[in-house]
Amino acid sequence: MRTRLLDAALESLVEVGYAGTTTLAVQKRAGVPRGTLQHHFPTKADLLAGAVEHLAARRFDQLTREFEDIPASADRLETAVELTMRMLSGPSFLAALEIWVGARTDPELLAAFLPLEHRLFELMHNSIRDVFRAEFPDDPRVPTITEFTIEIMTGLAMRVLLTGEVGRNRIIEHRWRNAVRILLGTAHPDTLTAPRSQPTSSSGP
């Protein structure tokens, strides 16, 4: 029942945002009596603190699965950028953004949320750094490039939520991948704004 309530809280955060996620709305969404909700979460602060932990567990699991599934033959640089973008999209990220909004003016929520968010971003940083290091094992620039990748992709993810400009983000993602190659010495600076290569069409029917 606790998980059912927490799932309902996260769904509410995604669909109607922080302001619309009330205890009454979550109770109705979960389809449980008022007393059941109050038994598990006496206040909205308790409910959202529980939702923070529930959300963090989901995001940790997602990150672990994503990185475990990287094929050995993958382009590590492309993979690092693409995985970062995937981690910063979807329902879990939307719910986290709504909690960021609420935590800005709610000290109790901030205290519950910030340590977990720091832990998640540290885990993400370490995982993405290791993907880069698989190709550039001794390059001292890798930690900084990893941090820039996360910050740039976070900004792009938030921008597309507001503007819906997915195509523009794809261009910037592509240019950042080129920039990383230039920074790591595997590409010429002239390639920074080179157009994206088009996949070769198959000759089959």
Q: Is residue 138 assigned to a domain? A: yes
| Cα(96)–Cα(202) distance, integer angstroms | 41
For residue 166, tell me if it sits in a domain: yes
Nearest-10 Cα torsion for 164, 167, 172, 177: 120
Distance between CA 170 and CA 160 in Å, rounded?
Answer: 10
* C-alpha to C-alpha distance for 152 and 146, rounded to whole angstroms: 10
pLDDT by residue, tens only, the chain of 205 residues: 889 999 999 999 999 999 899 999 999 999 999 899 989 988 888 888 888 888 888 888 888 888 888 888 888 888 888 888 888 888 888 888 888 888 889 888 888 888 888 888 888 899 889 888 888 888 999 999 999 999 998 888 888 878 877 888 888 888 998 999 899 888 888 888 766 654 434 334 3
The CA distances from residue 128 to 70, 78, 153, 180, in Å, are 12, 11, 12, 13
The CATH number for 112's domain is: 1.10.357
* Amino acid 116: pLDDT: 84
Query: Counting runs of H as helices and runs of E as strands, what totals does the chain give?
Result: 9, 0
pLDDT value at residue 199 = 43
The Cα 27–Cα 25 span in angstroms is 5
Q: Is residue 24 part of a domain?
A: no
Which candidate, 179, 29, 74, 20, places its Cα nearest to that of 5?
Answer: 29
The range of the structural domain enclosing residue 134 comes to 52-188
Q: Is residue 56 part of a domain?
A: yes
Q: Is 8 domain-assigned?
A: no
**In-domain check, residue 110:** yes
Number of domains in the chain: 1
Q: What pLDDT sits at residue 45? A: 82
- Evaluate whether residue 60 is within a structural domain: yes
pTM of the model: 0.75
Residue 88 lies in a domain: yes
